[in-house]
Each structure stands twice: as structure tokens, then as C-alpha cells.
């Protein structure tokens, strides 16, 4: 029969203090426990901690050394040790002994007696004594307040490293706990409460360990992102089915139409649609469809540069699936679907999948920004511009003008950012300097920083691999130009279908400007598929440069966007059948991966 209590001491490079900590822990346990064990959970240390822990295990029958060759992170190291422990009550506290061990008997007794399933020390309860700098105290209260509100926790202090668990309860929780590092404490307490276990707090006397400071990577980025992930998993994802997502998207579109109806005569819009030439609209759809195999060819070239050679047909289907998801989800949430399809069907790692998407998006954004600038310049040289009308439209009221203003301003910002990012990528692609590591390691020496640095460097290396090869850059750039030229021609055909008369040069120039600005506006994560922003920007620019009424321009914008979305959705449906992939499953699984850690 094993000891009734197992105490786990998480240790990383603790050679200066680990021996004193173990001896004091053994003494504290001997004062009230007839049998116990102390496990030193050594986590890939680079100093003499393993040697000291091994020697202490030989000297004390109650001490065990749980060795780790590689750094797992605090959370995973604790999980490994808890699974190896023999006690019915599992305890852990930080090796700096910040919490006074005089509280250990009360902590253990509260679980052994059955009063609580999980017990934790608290520095924020009445009766607690916590000697900490004001900055740390304020940060702690803010953090714990966010956890209480966002994760609906009933506890005051989630991060005190002084906890005890009923063995069966903890082992039932561990499969659900995803964090590997400092957020592990909060997550296990929150999940225990959600499962209905009895979780209690005990006031403690606490002092900060030496060298305790605010770590921007661990405390802000790491803990903040983990808090957001847990909130999503516990509060949002159970309610956010695919049906709910689609219904929310449809509601946003309907709301946009209701608001638009206050400022645009929808009767005229409908009349314009009825009068449009269906043959030209069909030709526009067929022309637009031609751009999709080009997308597959371009993506093939991008992936080939990253070491993955795939067929154009498969890649075109994967693009159709992700773009179909983007029609329904805001913030380009469907992009992760493509990375998911590549992973499950071809074994492409998620960082590579997302990097390839970033390359494609970068080329798209730079291409349409350049095309928009070229169109504007050509219109200016050709004397086709109507600056007064454009300024008037930007200053006008109404829903269409408002969405147009947002779209134009957003498009300019996105375009400038894309060109700047492209310049940085091209410059860094031909440099051996590692920009991310020095910046992140200066900010933090925690394992969060090391993990984040590795992910950033892998991602950057994949993105730069394409930019480093001139022939690949040229091929991908040429394909991008052809794809967006086809998009512009399709929009011009739609305007022709609505009876818009203009010189071919002027029509193509205005369509290039309207389509490019509209698509840059769609980058803003304000609506599913950019619906509303695209139509607003498109309408505003067409009315400013061509002799077209607002209802007709708006109707053309709606039809142009609608037919392109219909082609996308139809291609997505065909791709689901061809690739045997469920879009709803792909969205759910891809969403999990965006919030989790890729391997």
C-alpha cells in the first residue's frame, strides 16, 4: 500500500535551494504524517539539480527523483510527477517555499478529511498575509478579477503555488488541462469547479521568492492567450456550432440590408437586378471560375518551395473549402480549414500550412494594392477621375457611404501595411540575422519565450523560403496578377450587364480600383466574407468615377460579390465530395488547432 500523501516539488535549475527545500519539506511532513513521499519533479535542468535530487533520493527513503531529459514546462512536469505518485492525496508547492509550510497540515487535512476535493492557498482571503511589491499585487488582482469574470470562477487567488488534490479527482481532470506552463494552476482550478468538485481556499502567509519579477512573455502573452483559450473552450465553443455560426453570419447580412434600406431605395436596386442581362452575368461567373485553377497552381508553387509537392486539383479543392468557410466566418476564420486539410490529407505540419497561407495572403494583398494604385494612376493620366465626386461621397451620410468610408480607409491602411511587410520579408529573406530570438529572449527567459521564439522562427523561415527564390517569387507574383485581373474583368462584365456605359479603359480602370479596394476592405474582421464593406467600397468608387446612380452601383456590387461567393460555395461543395471532407468538422477541428499548440 502506498503512502497516503505525495508531495511534488517542481524543480528547474534549483541547485542553490533544492537541498534545503527537500529537507524542510521532509521535516514538515514528518511533523504530522506517519507515511508520505516527496517527489522532486526535475524538468530538464541544465545545472546540478538532477545530481542533488538523485543524492537526496538515496539518502532519504521518502524522497523520489522524477528525472526529465528535456524541458516539458511546469505544467507537464507536474502532470508527469502526479501520474507517477502513489499517494491518495497529491500535493505540490513551489520550491522557493514562498508559502509558509506551517499551513501544510491544514491544506492536506482539508482534502484527507473529505472537506474539499481540491484545496489551494490564497493570498487574497481575509486573514492572509502577503508581502509583495505593489506592482505585483495590482497585477495579481487584475488577473484574478479577469479569471473570476471571464471564466466564472468563485475563487479569489488562482496562482498561489500551494495546492492539494484528491488523487482520483486530479487524474480525472488532467486529460482536459492543456496548459504546459504557469496557467496550469488556474486551468485546473477552473475545470474542477466546472465539473462540480468541491474547491476550497485557505488563507496563507506568503512572501515572494527571490528574483520574482513581471515577465512580459509569460505573464502577458502567455497567461493572456491561455485565459482566452480557456474562455473560448468553456464558454463559447460549446454553444458555437456550425449552425449557430452560419445563422449569426446570415443575421449580420440581414441587419446590413435593413440598415441599407434606410438610405438606398431597395426597390430601385431590385429593379436594376431584374433588368440586368443574365447572359453577361453568366459569362462573368464563368470568367471568374477560371481564376480557381490558377489559385491551385500558385499554391502548388508556394508549397513546393516549402518541400511539399502536391497536385493542382487537390490544392484547388483545399482552397475552395477554406474560402467557402471564409464566406460564413468573419476574420478570415476559414483560413485554418486549409491548414487542417493539408495536415489530415497530406501530413503538412500546421506551422508550414499557416506559413504558406501567409505567403499567399501577402502576395494577394500586395498585388491588389499595386493594381489599385496602377488603376488610380491610369485614370488620373487618362483624365477619367472625378475627385470632387469622390470627396463628396466620402463626406456623405448614409449606410452605403459609411461602409464605403470604412472600406476605403481600411483598404489604404491594409495596403500600406502589406507593402511594408513585404519589404521586411524580402529584406530578411536574404539576411542570416535572427530577428525574433534576440527581441523575445531580452523580454523573457521563461520557457514560454523559448516556445514562442521557436514557433516564430519556424514560421518566418517558411515565409522567407519563398521570397528567397527569385523564380518562385516571379511565378507566384505573375499568378497573383492573373488571378486578380480575372476578378476585375468579371466585375466589368457585371457592370455591363447592368447597362453601365463607359469606355473600356475607364470601365476596367474603375473596376480594378473598386474590386481591389473592396477586397482590401474585406481583410477587416467586421463581417462574414466582408459582406457590406465590399459593397460599400465598390459602390462608392463606381459612383464617384462613372455616371451611375447609387442604387444601380449598389445592385451591381451585390451581384458581383454574390456570384463570386456562389462560385466559391459551389466549388466548396464539390470539393467536400471529392476530398471526402466535412466542412463542419474541418471548421471545428481547425478552430481547435488555432487555439492549441501545433506539432
Distance of CA 436 to the CA centre of its chain: 19
Tell me the residue length of the chain: 599
| Pairwise CA distance, residues 117 & 193, whole Å | 10
Q: How many helices (H) and strands (E) does the chain have?
A: 24, 9
> Which phi and psi (to 5°) does residue 154 adopt?
-95, 5
> What is the rounded radius of gyration, in angstroms, for the C-alpha atoms of the chain?
30
Minimal CA–CA distance to 206: which of 74, 75, 101, 78? 101
DSSP state of 236: I
| Pairwise CA distance, residues 248 & 333, whole Å | 14
**185 a catalytic residue:** yes
Minimal CA–CA distance to 416: which of 480, 478, 372? 372
Catalytic residue among 185, 364, 446, 462: 185
Set of cell numbers at residue 591: 478552430
Residue 398, C-beta contacts closer than 8 angstroms, at least 6 positions apart: 262, 263, 264
| Pairwise CA distance, residues 584 & 552, whole Å | 36
Minimal CA–CA distance to 89: which of 2, 25, 9, 205? 2
DSSP helix/strand/coil, 358: helix
Cell 491588389 identifies what position?
A: 368
DSSP helix/strand/coil, 117: coil
| Pairwise CA distance, residues 67 & 525, whole Å | 47
CA atoms within 13 A on the CB side of 561: 25
Minimal CA–CA distance to 373: which of 406, 423, 427, 416? 416
The angle subtended at Cα 574 by Cα 568 and Cα 576, nearest 5°, is: 100
- Give helix 350-381 / helix 291-305 axis angle, nearest 10°: 130
Set of cell numbers at residue 228: 482566452
Q: Are strands 118-122 and 129-130 parallel, antiparallel or unpaired?
A: unpaired
Cβ-based neighbour number of residue 35 at 10 Å: 12
Q: Which stretches within 498-549 are classed as H helix?
A: 504-521, 533-545
Cell 472600406 identifies what position?
A: 407
| Pairwise CA distance, residues 512 & 541, whole Å | 10
Residues with active-site annotation: 185
Amino acid at each position: 500500500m502506498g503512502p497516503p500523501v505525495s508531495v511534488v516539488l517542481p524543480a528547474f535549475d534549483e541547485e542553490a535551494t533544492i537541498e534545503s527545500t527537500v529537507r524542510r519539506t521532509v521535516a514538515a511532513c514528518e511533523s504530522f504524517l506517519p507515511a508520505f513521499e516527496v517527489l522532486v519533479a526535475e524538468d530538464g535542468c541544465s545545472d546540478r539539480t538532477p545530481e542533488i535530487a538523485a543524492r537526496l533520493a538515496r539518502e532519504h527513503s521518502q524522497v523520489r527523483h522524477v528525472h526529465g531529459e528535456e524541458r516539458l514546462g511546469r505544467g507537464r512536469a507536474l502532470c508527469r510527477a502526479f501520474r507517477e505518485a502513489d499517494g491518495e492525496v497529491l500535493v505540490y508547492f513551489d520550491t522557493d517555499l514562498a508559502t509558509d509550510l506551517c499551513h501544510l497540515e491544514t491544506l492536506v487535512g482539508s482534502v484527507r478529511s473529505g472537506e474539499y476535493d481540491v484545496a489551494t492557498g490564497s493570498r487574497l482571503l481575509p486573514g492572509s498575509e502577503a508581502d509583495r511589491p505593489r506592482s505585483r499585487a495590482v497585477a495579481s488582482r487584475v488577473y484574478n478579477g479577469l479569471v473570476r469574470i471571464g471564466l466564472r470562477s468563485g475563487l479569489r487567488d488562482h496562482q498561489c503555488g500551494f495546492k492539494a488534490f484528491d488523487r482520483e479527482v486530479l487524474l480525472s481532470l488532467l486529460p482536459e488541462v492543456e496548459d504546459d506552463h504557469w496557467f496550469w494552476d488556474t486551468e485546473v482550478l477552473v475545470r474542477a469547479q466546472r465539473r462540480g468538485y468541491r474547491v476550497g481556499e485557505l488563507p496563507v502567509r506568503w512572501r515572494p521568492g527571490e528574483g520574482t519579477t513581471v515577465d512580459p512573455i509569460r505573464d502577458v502573452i502567455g497567461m493572456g492567450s491561455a485565459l482566452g483559450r480557456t474562455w473560448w473552450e468553456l464558454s463559447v465553443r460549446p454553444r458555437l456550432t456550425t449552425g449557430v455560426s452560419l445563422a449569426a453570419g446570415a443575421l449580420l447580412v440581414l441587419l446590413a440590408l435593413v440598415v441599407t434600406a434606410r438610405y438606398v431605395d431597395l426597390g430601385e436596386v431590385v429593379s436594376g437586378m431584374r433588368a440586368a442581362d443574365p447572359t453577361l452575368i453568366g459569362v462573368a461567373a464563368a470568367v471568374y471560375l477560371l481564376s480557381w485553377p490558377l489559385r491551385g497552381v500558385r499554391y502548388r508553387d508556394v508549397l513546393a518551395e516549402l518541400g511539399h509537392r502536391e497536385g493542382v486539383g487537390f490544392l484547388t479543392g483545399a482552397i475552395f473549402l477554406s474560402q467557402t468557410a471564409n464566406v460564413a466566418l468573419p476574420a478570415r476564420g476559414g483560413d485554418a480549414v486549409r491548414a487542417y486539410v493539408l495536415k489530415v490529407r497530406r501530413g503538412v505540419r500546421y506551422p508550414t500550412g499557416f506559413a504558406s497561407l501567409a505567403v499567399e495572403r501577402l502576395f494577394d494583398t500586395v498585388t491588389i494594392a499595386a493594381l489599385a494604385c496602377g488603376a488610380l494612376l491610369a485614370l488620373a493620366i487618362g483624365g477619367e477621375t472625378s475627385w470632387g465626386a469622390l470627396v463628396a461621397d466620402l463626406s456623405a451620410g448614409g449606410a452605403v457611404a459609411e461602409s464605403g468610408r470604412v472600406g476605403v480607409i481600411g483598404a489604404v491602411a491594409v495596403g500600406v501595411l502589406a507593402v511594408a511587410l513585404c519589404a521586411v520579408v524580402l529584406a530578411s529573406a536574404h539576411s542570416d540575422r535572427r530577428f525574433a530570438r534576440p527581441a523575445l529572449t531580452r523580454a523573457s527567459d521563461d520557457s514560454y519565450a523559448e516556445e514562442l521564439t521557436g514557433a516564430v522562427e519556424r514560421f518566418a523561415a517558411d515565409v522567407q523560403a519563398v521570397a528567397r527564390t527569385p523564380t518562385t517569387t516571379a511565378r507566384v507574383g505573375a499568378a497573383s496578377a492573373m488571378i486578380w485581373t480575372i476578378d476585375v474583368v468579371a466585375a466589368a462584365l457585371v457592370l455591363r450587364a447592368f447597362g453601365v456605359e463607359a469606355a473600356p479603359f475607364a470601365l476596367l480602370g474603375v473596376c480594378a480600383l473598386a474590386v481591389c479596394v473592396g477586397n482590401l476592405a474585406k481583410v477587416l474582421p467586421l463581417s462574414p466574407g466582408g459582406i457590406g464593406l465590399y459593397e460599400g467600397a465598390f459602390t462608392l468608387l463606381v459612383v464617384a468615377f462613372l455616371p451611375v446612380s447609387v442604387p444601380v452601383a449598389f445592385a451591381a456590387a451585390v451581384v458581383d460579390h454574390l456570384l463570386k461567393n456562389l462560385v466559391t460555395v459551389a466549388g466548396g461543395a464539390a470539393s467536400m465530395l471529392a476530398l471526402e471532407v466535412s466542412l463542419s468538422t474541418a471548421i471545428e477541428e481547425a478552430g481547435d488547432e488555432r487555439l492549441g499548440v501545433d506539432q
